[in-house]
Amino acid sequence: MKALNNNYGFNLVQLLIATSVFTIVSLGVMNLILYYTKMEQQQRLLSGIISARYTIISYLQHERGWAFTMTAPENNEPVSADCLTSDTSITGTGSNFDCFGVADVELVVYSPSGDAYYDPDNASLGFNRDGAICDTYDSTAGSGDFNCPFRAEVYWRTLCTASPCYYPGIEVEVRFEMNQSDGEKRLAFNPENYNFVFQK
């Protein structure tokens, strides 16, 4: 019997080889797309937390921003009234207030224009991926809001070496935290790397 000699089209082996090559290339391209998508999301988170960090620092270091923060009603508790100011005319009950040991008091941050910018006491207040304020932060593990993924805790403490301590220096600490939802692609991102401490 004469063998069929077909020089047109592909035989089965060629088709299988072509399909395998196409599959391998497609998987490589897909992995590359997923990698760059993840990197883009991580870069956006990084930009957002840096933007939020910069705003908080600039408001607290601004002369008017710090003045509004010190005198804000939310910060004007008995301890704050005496220890957050360098005004030596302010006294405690019968004598100057001893500020020794005052630590980790929440601080509401005010802008230089006198507006309340960030209140860490509001548990749903946070920052979006662009570094702007959002109010849908969810601290429940695995239930984070994609559009409001991180928040900050702002504290102040006195710099005292011994008691009594009157009109001390002030140290402010800002700690960031992030909560991602279980439904989104988890990012290897540590917000604690952007915590900061500075003294006034």
pLDDT per position as a tens digit, 87-114:
544 444 434 677 888 888 889 999 999 9
Residue 113 CB partners (closer than 8 Å, separation 6+)? 64
Six-digit token string for 191: 């917000």
- Portion of the chain with pLDDT greater than 70, in percent: 77
Q: Where are the domains of the chain?
A: 12-199
Q: pLDDT digit string (tens) for 155-194? A: 988 888 888 887 788 899 999 998 877 666 666 778 888 9
CA angle 109, 162, 195 (to 5 degrees): 35
Quickly count: other Cβ atoms within 10 Å of residue 186's Cβ: 9
pLDDT at position 91 is 42
Pairing of strands 126-127, 196-199: unpaired
Q: Please give the structure tokens belonging to residue 192.
A: 């604690």
Angle between helices 63-71 and 12-61 (to 10 degrees): 80
**From CA 131, how far away is CA 21, in angstroms rounded?**
44
Query: What would you measure as the largest C-alpha separation in the chain, in angstroms?
Result: 120
Secondary structure, 3-state, the chain: CCCCCCCCCCCHHHHHHHHHHHHHHHHHHHHHHHHHHHHHHHHHHHHHHHHHHHHHHHHHHCHHHHHHHHHCHHHCCHHHHHHCCCCCCCCCCCCCCCCCCCCCEECCEECCCCCEEECCCCCCCEECCCCCEECCCCCCCCECECCECEEEEEEEEEECCCCCCCCCEEEEEEEEEECCECCCCCCCCCHHHHCEEEEC
Q: What pLDDT shows up at residue 183?
A: 62
Tokens describing residue 168: 């001390």
Higher pLDDT, residue 41 or 74: 74
Q: pLDDT tens, 7-18?
A: 555 677 777 777
Average of pLDDT values for 64-91? Answer: 69
Predicted local confidence at residue 9, as pLDDT: 57
